[in-house]
Amino acid sequence: MASITLENLNKTYPNGFVSVKNLSLHIEDGEFVTFFGPSGCGKSTILRMIGGMEDITSGEIYLGKDLLNDILPRDRSLAMAFQNYQLYSHLNVYDNIALGLRLRSLPRNVIESRVRTAAEFFGITDILTRKIRTLSEIHKQCVALSRALVCKPKVLLIDEDFSHQDEKLRERMLADMIRIHREFHLTMLYVTNDYNEAIRYGNLTVFMRSGQILEVRENPDF
């Protein structure tokens, strides 16, 4: 796995809005870190910059000792789970999960093994042949997480909007996050604006406001 280091990170949009201001943070290998703060405080922007979905105004992001600033998203050894799942409705579950592996030209038997293992982990082996458009939201969430895990990322990034704010989806997502962390020992970063979640889930909670860190609090009971 790998650590994440943010050094003097800044994000200013063309309209002048400062989303992240001179932020520095080190996340150890295998830690589960929850970012908490009000909407617009910059927490989701941090995840998107780490994942390469958002340009960095200035500063540096490291995965272990590797500088990520100019590395394409697909080459960052990260997996991201954001809102809308980014699934292909015309493909079945198996093909959605396998897509990233096929793009990397992995052998067929490796793809088969990884897809089956992920499907078993999330309990979706019985729907592998179904089209995405026929699935429930919970099943879509499981497919998206499966697709993230089969690529064997060093870091998993999850935004709270991934659960679409539905209570059952959210409960399932949180349970799956804990299972993933304990089973695969991934470095995990989760964004939420729910205070109870923030203090309950993760080794560390990063409290943010106006693009800056107010406090980093350890959770010894996690």
The residue among 164, 145, 144, 51 whose CA lies nearest residue 91 is 144
48: confidence class by pLDDT, cuts 50, 70, 90 = very high
Instruction: Write the burial class of residue 75 (CB in 10 Å: 0-12 exposed, 13-18 middle, 19+ buried).
Output: exposed
What does the block give as tokens for 14?
Answer: 């063309």
- Give the C-alpha separation, 116 to 119, whole Å: 5
Ordered by start, the domain boundaries in the chain are: 1-77+153-222, 86-152
CB-hemisphere CA count at 13 Å for 28?
5
DSSP tag of 92: B
Note whether 9 and 61 are within 8 A (CB). yes
3-state secondary structure 26-89: EECCCCEEEEECCCCCCHHHHHHHHHCCCCCCEEEEEECCEECCCCCHHHCCEEEECCCCCCCC
- pLDDT the model gives residue 27: 97
- pLDDT the model gives residue 221: 84
pLDDT tens digits, one per residue of 20-34: 999 999 999 999 999
**Which segment, 22-26, 71-75, 99-103, is predicted with the most confidence on average?**
22-26
- Give the C-alpha separation, 6 to 116, whole Å: 35
**Which segment, 99-108, 188-197, 210-219, is predicted with the most confidence on average?**
210-219
Higher pLDDT among residues 71 and 172, named by residue: 71
165: confidence class by pLDDT, cuts 50, 70, 90 = low
220: confidence class by pLDDT, cuts 50, 70, 90 = confident
CATH number of 1-77+153-222: 3.40.50.300
- pLDDT the model gives residue 159: 85
- Give the C-alpha separation, 2 to 64, whole Å: 5
The residue count for the chain = 222
Q: Is the pLDDT of residue 38 over 80?
A: yes
Higher pLDDT among residues 82 and 104, named by residue: 104
- pLDDT the model gives residue 161: 65
Q: Is the pLDDT of residue 164 over 60?
A: no
DSSP tag of 191: E
